[in-house]
Amino acid sequence: MNLSCKYKAVDELNKRINKCTVCRLSLTRKHVLTGEGDINARLMMIALSPGEKEDSENRMFIGPSGQILNKLFDKAKMLRESVYITNLIKCMLPKNRRPKTDEINACSPFLEEEIAVIDPEIIVPLGFYATRSVLMKYHADLPSARSEFTSLYGRLIFSDDQKIFPLPHPASLLYHPSFESKTEEKYIKLNIFLHDCKWFPVCPMKWYYEKGRLDKKWIEKYCRGDWESCVRFKMEEERRFHHDWMLPDGSIDNSLKPV
């Protein structure tokens, strides 16, 4: 989809979102918040819902959690405008209560259409509800308990041809400031997703994949994803020898070895 078509599609979608009265939240909101940022962004962040200040001023992430998000972007050396940010639920949840299933379901068609139009390289859900919803949409394995979702934060997941990078919601630091340094480490990862590995054009992994000998997941999770964690990348940077048939996680695939 070219840029002008994207702008038109986003504009038409937002008009429909603004008129929505499907669930009870339409009775208590002041505004319906639609997505903000670069519609051609490689990264699409999905938070839970607007807060009180956002609902009042009709802008995303301008309250306390927004201030934390801005600091996290600074740590990652990224501009907020370089990503596209939206919400799982478009209207404020009264008294910041937990969302109800029917409220999530009411907004789901809007989010699905939004994802289809923006077509992000990587979806970045923030917090439990957004992460669970996105993982379910792409049929990824879900933890059995809510408390186990934290183990997914900062890990790149590739499922149904979509890359997903769950992160803690910035608001979590309002209640657990001791997690600040670990949260910063996870957000700093966002910067590496803005471009592919510099070695990718000449990497044997690319050649093996193009010849149909390598699963796509290796390319998406490492070469065009978390290349900083690729063992091959680290060894290239250190000018250390490694076999062409060594996979990005450091394991050896002898089936790739020339005969």
Please tell me the predicted confidence (pLDDT) of residue 96. 87
**pTM of the full structure:** 0.94
Query: Are 25 and 89 in contact, with CB atoms under 8 Å apart?
Result: yes
Taking the chain (259 residues) in runs of 10, the rounded mean pLDDT of each run is 89 94 93 94 96 92 93 95 96 93 95 96 97 96 91 96 97 93 96 94 96 96 96 96 96 92
Could you count the other beta carbons within 10 Å of the beta carbon of residue 255? 10
Name the 3-class secondary structure at 36: strand
Please tell me the predicted confidence (pLDDT) of residue 259. 75
Please tell me the predicted confidence (pLDDT) of residue 3. 84
C-alpha to C-alpha distances, 148 to 27, 141, 198, nearest whole angstrom: 34, 12, 34
Query: Are 65 and 53 in contact, with CB atoms under 8 Å apart?
Result: no
Please tell me the predicted confidence (pLDDT) of residue 258. 86
Task: For residue 78, give the DSSP letter.
Answer: -
Query: Are 247 and 253 in contact, with CB atoms under 8 Å apart?
Result: yes
Please tell me the predicted confidence (pLDDT) of residue 1. 78
- Burial class from Cβ neighbours inside 10 Å (0-12, 13-18, 19+) for residue 151 reads exposed
Please tell me the predicted confidence (pLDDT) of residue 4. 87
Please tell me the predicted confidence (pLDDT) of residue 2. 85
CATH annotation of 3-194: 3.40.470.10
Domain residue ranges in the chain: 3-194, 200-256
